[in-house]
Amino acid sequence: MSNIMNCIEITEPGAPEVLKETSRPMPTPSAGEVLIKVVVAGVNRPDVLQRQGGYPPPPGASDLPGLEIAGEIIALGEDVDSFAIGDEVCALVTGGGYAEYCSAPALQCLPVPKGLSLFEAAALPETFFTVWTNLYQRANLQAGETLLVHGGSSGIGTTALQMASALGARVITTAGNAEKCDACLQLGAERTVNYKEEDYVEAVKEFTDGKGVNVVLDMVGGDYLPKNIKCLAQDGRHVNIAFLQGSKVELNFMPIMLKRLTLTGSTLRARPVEVKAQIAEELKETVWPLLESGKIKPVIHSVFPLSKASEAHKLMESSQHIGKILLEV
């Protein structure tokens, strides 16, 4: 087997066209890592931000884009006994996913859920890890509570509303057109709001009989933040995972004090392996059975060949997709 692999690199910060196919040496798994022959890689917003120069990889991580993969383990680093060569897995990685081979910490790998293909498995790690840690570890969402998800038709959105509804929460979500709203309803949302035609603050008020939602999951930022605060119930929790409309906003803290609100957020990429391992364990215990039973299903919009990564990024930036965008390696 050649030790040279095909991959996609970012030649310079810029538009999708800066993604170029090239060759590099295969990675070698370090202690605690496995080497995966990648079959499918996921495309995510952080990849776009990295390509634009706004989200550099953490120290020691590959400079190649790609934060989630699915494929076959072909080599084991030292001290790995949880997997064997030949196992099919999906994995969360800190970079390097847009390639024929990628190393990953064994603790960040999960078995492909029974009944799912490698394509479906590749759509899981980035969004499922992100949604779980933010909704359940940080916001402590409970069965019977209400959740507002912005961008319900995105990869994060389709994951969040399915996971939350399957675990007993009531979900209201925003989306940008009728087709996306219909898709969200099919996936478990009880109420959808076309934000281009309807005021989501009023919709939340109606949906909750004036009480407000218990949790908001927001990736928009900007002027959504003060409106989200209006949507929250007493003791509500607001979680930011991205800022498509900017991270700076003027905010009146009086409602936050009066309603005893919690404002939080997180990024995932730079967190230690041990933290991601805990997320993986909780997902395997609580969410993997829901995937295997069909109560949750990854939503895949498009699959591009690896060589067409720039086209995949163009689609991601257009926001015309419903669900995940994948690269077939």
Terminus-to-terminus CA distance in the chain, angstroms? Answer: 17
Domains and CATH numbers, the chain: 4-124+269-328 (3.90.180.10), 128-265 (3.40.50.720)
Region label for 268, one of left (φ > 0), alpha (ψ between -120 and 50) or beta (otherwise):
alpha
> What does the mean pLDDT of the chain come to?
97
Please write the tens of the pLDDT for every residue from 283-312: 999 999 999 999 999 999 999 999 999 999
Please write the tens of the pLDDT for every residue from 22-51: 999 999 999 999 999 999 999 999 999 999
What is the three-state SS of the chain? CCCEEEEEEECCCCCHHHEEEEEEECCCCCCCEEEEEEEEEEECHHHHHHHHCCCCCCCCCCCCCCCEEEEEEEEECCCCCCCCCCCEEEEECCCCCCECEEEEEHHHEEECCCCCCHHHHHCCHHHHHHHHHHHHHHCCCCCCCEEEECCCCCHHHHHHHHHHHHCCCEEEEEECCHHHHHHHHHCCCCEEEECCCCCHHHHHHHHCCCCCEEEEEECCCCCHHHHHHHHEEEEEEEEECCCCCCCCCCCCCHHHHHCCCEEEECCCCCCCHHHHHHHHHHHHHHCHHHHHCCCCCCCEEEEEEHHHHHHHHHHHHHCCCCCEEEEEC
pLDDT over threshold 70, residue 104: yes
Question: Mean of the pLDDT values across residues 132-138?
Answer: 98
pLDDT score recorded for residue 2: 78
The CA distance from 186 to 190, in Å, is 9
pLDDT over threshold 70, residue 155: yes
Residue 76: CB atoms within 10 A of its CB come to 19
Please write the tens of the pLDDT for every residue from 39-89: 999 999 999 999 999 999 999 999 999 999 999 999 999 999 999 999 999
Please write the tens of the pLDDT for every residue from 172-221: 999 999 999 999 999 999 999 999 999 999 999 999 999 999 999 999 99
CA angle 267, 269, 272 (to 5 degrees): 100
Q: How confident is the model at residue 1 (pLDDT cuts 50, 70, 90)?
A: low
Please write the tens of the pLDDT for every residue from 210-244: 999 999 999 999 999 999 999 999 999 999 999 99
pLDDT score recorded for residue 156: 97
Question: Mean of the pLDDT values across residues 127-139?
Answer: 98
